[in-house]
Amino acid sequence: MREELIRVETLAKHYRVPKMKLFEKRQAVHAVDGISFGITEGEIFGLVGESGCGKSTTGQMIVQLVKESAGSIYYRDRKINDLSGAGMKALRQELQIVFQDPYSSLNPKKTIGWLLEEPLIIHGIGDKAERRKIVTETLEQVGLSSDYLKRYPHELSGGQKQRVGIAAALVLKPKFIVIDEAVSALDVSVQSQILNLLKELRDKLRLTYLFISHDLNVVQYISDRVGVMYLGKLVEIFDAGSTVDGPLHPYTKALFSAIPDVKGEKERILLKGDVPNPIHPPKGCAFHPRCPLATDKCGRERPALRSITPSHAVSCHLYEEGDIFQ
């Protein structure tokens, strides 16, 4: 059985909102509100939800680019969110991130060779010749030849820039990569090339990913398991490939219904209203003002994320008793 590589426990990020009036009570945005999950070694764990649900903040906290307000992050059973600067620098080699926007994540004034060599210099890896060898090999791994070493980011297409972004994450030979909306800015045909590249690299280099996207179609294609976030909370975790144990939470079902259906047989579930203000999240189930199946209990009591099979957990009062696959 594979080991858990990453575990987060009751992880939270609260941003204080500036006071608008002198005696106003200080308020906070609960961007991530006490979530717990694990990612097994070699797994692609997809995190999906609407913009502002906390998925990117979660990824940035795991690689410690954003400091959590509460909770714990473990890497190979070692708590990493209270490490010293030196301890975290050593760990940074193993935990990397690929950002959403390949256009702005690469310094336009530097060549691709320089951009990929810089992390090796920072971490004191190899001499000039060894570093050049690592950089050239890494470029080849993402499907680019050594011809690209002397090019600048503006000379590359969107897909080539994202390949360089992936190479920048790979060059330190990490074990775990957060991939944050990395295909959202790309054309559909380029998206599928990058998704297939990420899958190949996972298999070849034995990587583990947290794959973040607002697009459930993309997340389901690449992931082994999917976590669904709504208003800072995880509302469901399920096996992406399971045909018998599909999504149950009304929010996940609504997301699925929005995926285009070639046969045109699927009924679209339209949610009423907008995502509530995260400064004042609704009482009870945070989804209840928009849920087509809400009951009185939903407005009073917050459902816990509860395992209903070894690989499926859901946070909804509908699945607390009785036939869960109704």
Rg (CA), the chain: 21
Structure tokens at 265: 């047989």
**Would you count residue 250 as binding ligand SF4 (CB under 6 A)?**
yes
SS3 sequence of 252-302:
HHHHHHCCCCCCCCCCCCCCCCCCCCCCCCCCCCCCCCCCCCCCHHHHHCC
In the complex with ligand SF4, the residue whose CB is nearer, 150 or 268, is 268
Based on the shown chain and the rule CB under 6 A, indicate whether residue 139 belongs to the binding site for ligand SF4.
no
- Regarding beta strands 78-79 and 70-75, do their DSSP bridges make them parallel or antiparallel, or are they unpaired? antiparallel
- Contact between 313 and ligand SF4 per CB under 6 A: no
State both tokens at 111: 């060549």
SS3 23: coil
Tokens of 38: 């694990």
Rule CB under 6 A: say whether 294 interacts with ligand SF4.
yes
Select the span of 18-26, 37-45, 66-74, 287-295 touching ligand SF4 (CB under 6 A).
287-295
- The reply on whether position 291 binds ligand SF4 by CB under 6 A is yes
275 part of the interface to ligand SF4, by CB under 6 A: no
Q: Are strands 233-239 and 225-230 parallel, antiparallel or unpaired?
A: antiparallel
Q: How many residues bind ligand SF4 (CB under 6 A)?
A: 13
Does residue number 237 form part of the binding site for ligand SF4 (CB under 6 A)?
no
Residue 182 found at the interface with ligand SF4 (CB under 6 A): no
CB neighbourhood size of 222 (10 A): 21
CB of residue 267 vs ligand SF4: minimum separation in angstroms?
A: 18
Which CB, 12 or 298, lies closer to ligand SF4? 298
Residue 315 Cβ vs ligand SF4, minimum distance, rounded to whole Å: 7
Q: Which residues bind ligand SF4 (CB under 6 A)?
A: 249-250, 285, 287-288, 291, 293-294, 298, 303, 316-318
